[in-house]
Structure 1
Amino acid sequence: MKLEDLFSSIESTLLSRFKESGFINHNGDKGENREEILIEFLRNHLPKRYGVTKGEVITQKGERSHAIDIIIYDSVNCPVLYAGKTSILPIEGVYGIIEVKSTLFKNEALDALSKVESFKKLAPRELGITSSQDAVTLHRPSRPFGIVLGYQLSSNSITSLKNNWKEQAYEVHDVNYVANLICVLGEGLLHFEKYNLTKGEKDILLDTDEFVDLVTTAHKRHRNGEECDEILAKIIAEETKDRTFGRFIMYLLIMLTKIKLNVPDLTRYIDPELPMTIVKE
């Protein structure tokens, strides 16, 4: 069996389990079951350095996120500040989040996208410090990702969902806070692509840092009157049908491997007057 066929079979199983959960009447239980189906898969199949849970993230200033459906974090270096039915994690140790919806119609999609925006606004940009025998290094952490995943569409289509996302992205304006990927099982995926019209090249654009650098570099060159390539970024719809989940996992792994986090410094949470922790490599 080819790997893509294996993931197609897994996708069918996930959708069957989701449909079985439809017999649950209580909305809270329905939502919890919907998230647990995906959490269980990710815990079992992602590399063990990636922790998977649901809960909230907290910043050094005490700001708290909304209740997040799925958090993917650094299971090696990130302490879990509270471990109950839901977890609380320091945001420095979080790679990104996934907001999960049963049916991804316009209002649900916009709700999930706004939650991604609010989470990304909490992301730290403070430098971390690491030391080795040869040098002390300052490191700025990567920006986290935000994904929206739906088990099914309503009466809408991937194309209409793409238009909904385009509207929301223009309203957010700052690409720091735009979602990285939308996935609907059994239907397809939405993400940004970068088009270099000058060179005739195109590349997938999943990484937030790359997107931010693309925009800031273009603005800087325009202000300085410098000549630059004509580059566009636009949302692309992939109608991958029963190949969607395999593609989703591939994109998730691409995003995870590109992100470099700082080790959370709990002294900043407990007492900012204490010396900063220097991590030894």
Structure 2
Amino acid sequence: MLNKLSSYFNELANIIQSKANIAGVVGHPTSVGDNREVIVQDFLKEHLPRRFDAKIGGTIFDSEGIESSQIDVIVSNELGLNFFEHDKLFTCIESVAAAIPVKSTLKKDKLFEALDEFKSIPQPSLEVVKDQVDGREAFEFTEKYPSLILFAFSGSSAETIKGHLTQYYAIKQSYT
């Protein structure tokens, strides 16, 4: 079974890369980015459980009114509040399963941009989730939720990215 899944996802990766290459033919950076976000959304819609949905472009807010910056793809569940305005999602953090910035090429500036997007996402309120966590500690829920996933179609080597991450956190730590 593992070989079958491995083959499936390897072939799917080839299809996704082909679609990304076709999206790149457009040439205009905003259109290329928009088209590649659709590729990620389509993949998620095909593979997520039905109670989740992937939406392109939106913001996340908390019970205090703090709002994130624009997130490329947001995976939300159907059990929480989700608002749509002109096909853009505006949702409470407690409805969010994952936040996904999508980058065509992951280089230092795009990595820093994505990390800043992650940092802008408010955390779930212990008061809001305490009755929703079904016997688990609310603290555990807020520490591990939502998933923050950075998706890039290409980019620097893992070692280079690791160096950029070290630099980012050294810079950000000096501001706190």
- Answer whether contact 1:130 1:138 (CA < 8 A) is retained: no
Q: Deviations over 1:113-163 (max 9, x none)?
A: 1211222xx1123233539xxxx998444332212111012xx42211111
Q: Return the index of the structure with the highest Cα Rg.
A: 1
Alignment partner, residue 180 of structure 1: none
Is 1:57 aligned to 2:93, yes or no?
no
Q: Residue 84 of structure 1: CA displacement?
A: 2.7
Flag the 1:85–1:28 CA change in 2: closer, same or farther, 3 A: farther
Flag the 1:95–1:172 CA change in 2: closer, same or farther, 3 A: farther
**Equivalents in 2 of 1:80, 1:125: separation in Å?**
17
Q: Residue 9 of structure 1: CA displacement?
A: 0.5
Unaligned runs of 5+ in 2: none
Q: Aligned residue pairs: how many?
A: 164
From 72, 88, 111, the counterpart of 1:86: 88
Q: Which amino acid aligns with 2:131?
A: T
Is 1:5 aligned to 2:7, yes or no?
yes
SS of corresponding position for 2:59: strand
Q: Residue 51 of structure 1: CA displacement?
A: 1.9
Q: Which structure: greater helix fraction?
A: 2
CA RMSD of aligned residues (A): 2.2
- Answer whether contact 1:130 1:137 (CA < 8 A) is retained: no
Alignment partner, residue 130 of structure 1: 131
Flag the 1:31–1:129 CA change in 2: closer, same or farther, 3 A: same
Q: Which amino acid aligns with 2:168?
A: Q
Q: Normalising to structure 1: TM-score of the pair?
A: 0.53
Alignment partner, residue 25 of structure 2: 23
Q: Residue 61 of structure 1: CA displacement?
A: 2.5
**Equivalents in 2 of 1:90, 1:152: separation in Å?**
31
- Answer whether contact 1:71 1:98 (CA < 8 A) is retained: yes
**Equivalents in 2 of 1:138, 1:145: separation in Å?**
18
Matched ranges for 1:34-73 at <5 A: 34-54=36-56, 55-73=58-76
Flag the 1:49–1:159 CA change in 2: closer, same or farther, 3 A: same
- Answer whether contact 1:98 1:148 (CA < 8 A) is retained: yes
- Answer whether contact 2:70 2:117 (CA < 8 A) is retained: no
Matched ranges for 1:255-274 at <5 A: none
**Equivalents in 2 of 1:137, 1:68: separation in Å?**
28
Q: Deviations over 1:48-89 (max 9, x none)?
A: 1222112111222322211111111122x1121224321111
Percent identity, please: 25
**Equivalents in 2 of 1:137, 1:19: separation in Å?**
44
Unaligned runs of 5+ in 1: 174-281
